Chains A and B, each alone.
Chain A
Amino acid sequence: MPGKTAKILLALVVLVLIGGVASMATGPIGYNDGYEPKQPIPFSHRLHAGDNKIPCLYCHVAAEKSIHATVPALNICMNCHKVVKTDSPWIKKLTAAYENNTVIEWKKVHMLPDFVRFNHRRHVRREVACQTCHGPVETMDVIHQEAPLSMGWCVNCHRKPENHAPINCSTCHY
């Protein structure tokens, strides 16, 4: 074939190869594992859940009752922080919000797409440890997303016959 066409073809093949290698190296796009947003108050799970051994469900009350785990309401924080470490500037910020009835806007870390319906209550009641999906939270100063939370990652657990978990499409997508 003419020289010019051959050169263009070669260039294209090289580009595709580079692209392919690059995508394999960086992993599939769209998954947020490693996401570690900065929160309005630097709440440390290592301190509260790790050192102080506060159970997950003390704060994340709805995790065993509802589909949402929910970030705790301010009155749960104030249960302790009415008296604990009240001189800290962050606790002062928290108390001010509680007293003025203004909200704290936390950044969501574990984001699933809108078309996925994850049911916390079912998993908690099946005694799936929080750390299974959320990683070693009690060691995290700043929460980051540990697992990819991709469908394949979920299905790998659901598929295991000993887990007796459903794998219908409508289990999560309806």
Chain B
Amino acid sequence: MEHHDHETQSPDKKTSIKSTKKFWRSPQERENDPEWQKLVEREFQASPFFEGDVKESWNRRDFMKLMGASLALGSTACIRRPVQTIIPYVNRPVEVTPGIANYYASTWSEGTEGFGLLVKTREGRPIKLEGNPDHPVNAGALSARAQAQVLNLYDPERLDGPRKYNPEDPNPFRHEQHPSWAQADQEILPKLKEGGVALLTNSISSPSTKAVIGDFATVTGATHYVWDPIGYDDVASAQKAAYGTAVVPRYVLDRAKIIVSIDADFLGSFLSPTEFNRQYAAVRKPGKDMAKIVTFESVYTLTGANSDARVRIKPSQQLDVVMGLVHQISVLSGKGGGAPAYANAAQKLNIEPGLFNEIAKDLWENRGRGVVIAGGLTTRTEQGEAVHAAVNFLNSLLGNDGVSVDHGTAAFKFINGSHANLATLIEKMQAGQVKTLIIHGVNPVYQAAGGSGFEEALKKVALVLYTGDRADETGKFAKFILPDHHHLENWGDSEIQENVFSIQQPTIRPLYNTRAFQDTLLVWTAGYKGKGEKPLTWFNYLKDNWKKNRFHGAGGFDHAWVQLLKLGVLDLSSQAREKVSTPRNFSGAALKVPSPRASEGLELVLFESVLQGDGRSANNSWLQEMPDPVTKVSWGNPLLVSPGLAKKMELTNGSIVQVTVNKQSVKTPIFIQPGLHDEVVALAVGYGRTAAGEVGNGVGLNGFELASFNKGKPVFSGIQVQIENTGQFETVASMQEHTNIEGRQIVVEASLADYLKKPDAGIEKTEVFSIWNDHKYTGYRWGMAIDLNSCTGCSACIVACQAENNIPVVGKRYVIQGREMHWLRVDRYYSGDVNSPRGTFQPLPCQHCENAPCETVCPVAATNHSSEGLNDMVYNRCVGTRYCSNNCPYKVRRFNWFNYANKIPEPKNLQLNPDVTVRTRGVMEKCTFCIQRITTAKNDAKDRGDEVKDGEIKTACQQTCPTNAIMFGNINDAKSEVRQWQGDPRAFALLEELNVRPSVRYLTKVKNAKVEGTEGGHV
């Protein structure tokens, strides 16, 4: 077998692995950079920091002395175990049996994406979130952000009750007071009566909350301003201009055979990514009917990575793309003269005219069965309005309106926030017309774009009330912070898409003395009226609202209410979402397209990252440690530059540059991201917080400040920028070069054409023979299959695994050293055009090998093969030699270098899953195929008296996957789905040539495009 000999390796020696690779994880790997070679050789890296950096270092001699003394003392100490107490309930609630989890249906929406939840609780506290399979929007899946929300509940930095500050004092916290709710209300009510009350919130999906706000506004005369930091008002206003009503449409991707995205990251962050992921998977099954996805984008996103054709553009070229397509399609349709000014769009964009015409032709031939989408921060350029108008025109011209652009049956009607509203509010604040401002659900001091003037205007408001859970950037300016419950502690409801209602119920008694925002408003409404009437509690108000408005039918309200709490969802749309609606008339006046202009100079794009969003969960350590699905960078948002630009300016990963926008300069490290245009630099928003908490403070750079508010027409993209290499350096915590696997065939891509000819196209089969006898499995044999074609890289599985298995967070410093603890990782491989590569994502759990190389080398037999095909990890036997990890070819084993569990602050320990051991220092850990779930299911099956049914066990990663890319089950069962997947001609085993016999199979990725060298490609 060809062998890559490390010892004699030198950069100029010819190696057996080709230097131009077919799949590569970073530009350095592609060019066989010697630094990269060094990283590949060493699994356990030395600290990149010098001695002096380490503050808590032990002097070696002292350490040895202390250890020696402790050993001596310990051996003479008492050997009785410490006394433990058992504290039973006084009155055990009937539904709680210690040791058995209870699931409650609930709902959650962050800004604009909403989910139906099933909250897993143990002994009265939520420990894991899962999707509600009955909710039509997310259908049982959760995104990475949603999975991480359970940790926010236990954030130790949440305020434990109302606070009162003196914002005029330069140190507003100096005389911090802890009033009771009654005291706070007593002080606030007279101020409300003085009038000039304004309420600023995000788009509210809860109809009952909207009713409460409505009552409050009617009684107090307050004005309600709705603003979303990352909103879709540009989409809504373009819809209004074109069709008459401002609505954010629901894009139904599974009705499309061709999807063209113009800077809309629908798989990553745009609008409703979890739903889009599911629809994507539905239309991407390899076959003649496979949909085609084309992306024109200025950032490298998940959508671009998973597209069949991806073109890198500058934000100022978005209009050229759309108008170019408009022109081509007008020509093809024979209707009208098109837009001759944009006839040469392809040349201008540096695309082969052939490709561009092909896309136009595909769109035209699939009219009524395609969709063009644009949206997100990346389309908020100065010409954004024209771009959206043109996209609407295209969709109408192609007959997509009403089919894949759903405007009426289940659109996102609740999204009604706009920057114009915020601009109006700021104006009123500046003019002194706002005496009391209540801020809920948004953090405008941090999230409003640069130059909005919100902070200055805020100082002119006499009374600022904030319902956030801590004194964050906006909280610092508040006189009173009136912390709202966490959504897991509160009642509520939701109408994420029209006529699809879901209920939110508390799953834990509020941990602190917080009060529901709705209760606060209800108390103030009643108090304002001054008639001494007792306000309804929010719970009763909610029930009444449902009684009045939803449950008209027979059967009695109480029964219906209980059913609603059980199921969590009430779909009153009568399957409307399955129907198409009539297309609307496009108002020609909307299409006022400026003439094409040249795009000169470097442009900055601010984009919404998959994990952080608008930055509200910056203090969530899981989200910070998660590698960004595309860049694989954690704990920060470096400025992304293209390899070409980096070479030109002599930048490497971590070079600090000075970024100047509008005479404002900031410094930030860079990261090289293939796929960017050479005149584009990109920065994610949601970082750079200053008052989020210990975890989130100071991580990254605040991108919101680089945007310009422009009096309510913000510009987030296509911003003129200059960058300068400062010559300084800051290590970027990038995970993409950790855990490098070397081998012949790691990911396999095939073109659709090749797949149709031969289903196993692209797979190089290796003949292996074994000197070992096979294990015999008479009962269950657990195995897994992962469909690379469905996996979009969203990384929800990683957070789900972290939540389920008590995986610790190590922090930036140790991530840099390669010590991240994620049991499951998603490797991202680029392929194709170096300037605009495709991306293939490969989730890598422990492969539970039959001939596991880790099992044979453990000196203490801490890892053994079970009788059901699993590779067991026994933490109590492990002594930490790390030989197993050394031997693992997939590098899926993680070592506990420190006692991470000791660092878990209360009450975060309440989130820990009691079914999974919390590991201490010095033991190895790895993916267990969720053995705790397997054991529970086997026990349930034994109690029933039969076998575990197929699909009864879902590993945490499988359960949350929006595209159902992961399939787990019993491969000894001939009828199980995992057996079908493993038997699929597209299935291959990773690193098959090593004869480790993994229990996991991967299914090749099929691209609806030409893929060079499909046959027998080497990595």
A72-B88, A101-B90, A174-B928 known; A62 vs B98 contact (CB < 8 Å): yes
Interface-located stretch among A29-37, A44-52, A155-163: A29-37
Contact indicator A105/B87 (Cβ below 8 Å): yes
Question: Could you say which residues of chain B place their CB within 8 Å of the CB of A102?
Answer: 90
Cα–Cα distance between A73 and B877 once the two chains are bound (Å): 36
Contact indicator A174/B88 (Cβ below 8 Å): no
Cα–Cα distance between A101 and B97 once the two chains are bound (Å): 19
Contact indicator B943/A62 (Cβ below 8 Å): no
Cα–Cα distance between A3 and B86 once the two chains are bound (Å): 60
Contact indicator B874/A74 (Cβ below 8 Å): no
Of the candidates B80, B92, B942, the one having the most CB atoms from chain A within 10 angstroms of its own CB is: B92
A92 on the B face (CB < 8 A): no
Interface-located stretch among B862-870, B887-895, B988-996: B862-870
B932 on the A face (CB < 8 A): yes
A170 on the B face (CB < 8 A): yes
Question: Could you say which residues of chain B place their CB within 8 Å of the CB of A65?
Answer: 97, 99-100
Candidates A61, A66, A174; contact of B935 at CB < 8 Å = A174
Contact indicator A168/B875 (Cβ below 8 Å): no
When C-beta atoms are compared, the residue in chain A nearest to B91 turns out to be A75
In the complex, besides A75-B90, A115-B875, A168-B866, 12 extra interface pairs with C-beta distance below 8 angstroms are A65-B97, A66-B100, A70-B97, A101-B90, A101-B91, A102-B90, A105-B85, A107-B84, A111-B81, A168-B870, A169-B864, A170-B872
Residues 105-124 (chain A) with a chain B CB within 8 angstroms? 105-108, 111, 113-115, 119, 121-122
Cα–Cα distance between A107 and B100 once the two chains are bound (Å): 23
Question: Could you say which residues of chain A place their CB within 8 Å of the CB of B877?
Answer: 173
A73-B91, A74-B90, A125-B942 known; A111 vs B876 contact (CB < 8 Å): no
When C-beta atoms are compared, the residue in chain A nearest to B865 turns out to be A168
Question: Could you say which residues of chain B place their CB within 8 Å of the CB of A113?
Answer: 876
B83 on the A face (CB < 8 A): yes
When C-beta atoms are compared, the residue in chain A nearest to B779 turns out to be A166
Candidates B92, B876, B917, B939; contact of A73 at CB < 8 Å = B92
B931 on the A face (CB < 8 A): yes
Contact indicator A74/B81 (Cβ below 8 Å): no
Interface residues on B, range: 35 or more
Residues 915-943 (chain B) with a chain A CB within 8 angstroms? 916-917, 928, 931-932, 935, 939, 942-943
10 closest pairs, A vs B, by CB? A66-B99, A73-B92, A115-B876, A73-B89, A168-B866, A170-B872, A108-B84, A68-B99, A169-B872, A67-B99
B72 on the A face (CB < 8 A): no
Question: Could you say which residues of chain A place their CB within 8 Å of the CB of B935?
Answer: 119, 170, 174
Contact indicator A122/B939 (Cβ below 8 Å): yes
When C-beta atoms are compared, the residue in chain B nearest to A29 turns out to be B79
Cα–Cα distance between A72 and B97 once the two chains are bound (Å): 11
When C-beta atoms are compared, the residue in chain A nearest to B928 turns out to be A174
Question: Could you say which residues of chain A place their CB within 8 Å of the CB of B866?
Answer: 168-170
Contact indicator A169/B90 (Cβ below 8 Å): no
CB distance from B122 to the nearest CB of A (A): 11
Q: Interface readout for B637-649 with A: 1 if CB under 8 Å, 0 if not?
A: 0000000000000
Contact indicator B917/A114 (Cβ below 8 Å): yes
Of the candidates B88, B873, B874, the one having the most CB atoms from chain A within 10 angstroms of its own CB is: B88
Question: Could you say which residues of chain A place their CB within 8 Å of the CB of B90?
Answer: 73-75, 97-98, 101-103
Contact indicator B868/A168 (Cβ below 8 Å): yes
Contact indicator B88/A106 (Cβ below 8 Å): yes
Question: Could you say which residues of chain A place their CB within 8 Å of the CB of B867?
Answer: 166, 168
Question: Could you say which residues of chain B place their CB within 8 Å of the CB of A107?
Answer: 83-86
Interface residues of B (CB under 8 A from A): 79-81, 83-92, 97-100, 864, 866-868, 870, 872-877, 916-917, 928, 931-932, 935, 939, 942-943
When C-beta atoms are compared, the residue in chain B nearest to A151 turns out to be B876
CB distance from A143 to the nearest CB of B (A): 12
Question: Could you say which residues of chain A place their CB within 8 Å of the CB of B88?
Answer: 70-74, 103-104, 106
Cα–Cα distance between A73 and B870 once the two chains are bound (Å): 38
Cα–Cα distance between A62 and B872 once the two chains are bound (Å): 28
Candidates A62, A75, A108, A173; contact of B876 at CB < 8 Å = A173
Question: Could you say which residues of chain A place their CB within 8 Å of the CB of B79?
Answer: 29-30
A114-B917, A121-B939 known; A106 vs B874 contact (CB < 8 Å): no
CB distance from B271 to the nearest CB of A (A): 40
Cα–Cα distance between A32 and B81 once the two chains are bound (Å): 8
Cα–Cα distance between A47 and B552 once the two chains are bound (Å): 58
Question: Could you say which residues of chain A place their CB within 8 Å of the CB of B917?
Answer: 114-115, 174
Cα–Cα distance between A168 and B935 once the two chains are bound (Å): 12
Question: Could you say which residues of chain A place their CB within 8 Å of the CB of B939?
Answer: 119, 121-122
Contact indicator B85/A173 (Cβ below 8 Å): no
Question: Could you say which residues of chain B place their CB within 8 Å of the CB of A168?
Answer: 864, 866-868, 870, 872
Question: Could you say which residues of chain B place their CB within 8 Å of the CB of A104?
Answer: 87-88
When C-beta atoms are compared, the residue in chain A nearest to B871 turns out to be A170
Question: Could you say which residues of chain A place their CB within 8 Å of the CB of B928?
Answer: 170, 174
A67-B99, A106-B86, A169-B864 known; A74 vs B872 contact (CB < 8 Å): no
When C-beta atoms are compared, the residue in chain A nearest to B923 turns out to be A115
Cα–Cα distance between A114 and B806 once the two chains are bound (Å): 15
Candidates A62, A71, A166, A174; contact of B99 at CB < 8 Å = A62
Candidates A32, A66, A173; contact of B97 at CB < 8 Å = A66
Cα–Cα distance between A106 and B100 once the two chains are bound (Å): 22
Question: Could you say which residues of chain B place their CB within 8 Å of the CB of A71?
Answer: 86, 88
Candidates B83, B86, B91, B932; contact of A174 at CB < 8 Å = B932
Candidates A73, A108, A169; contact of B874 at CB < 8 Å = A169
Candidates B86, B868, B874; contact of A173 at CB < 8 Å = B874
Question: Could you say which residues of chain A place their CB within 8 Å of the CB of B99?
Answer: 62, 65-68, 70
When C-beta atoms are compared, the residue in chain B nearest to A115 turns out to be B876
CB distance from B427 to the nearest CB of A (A): 55
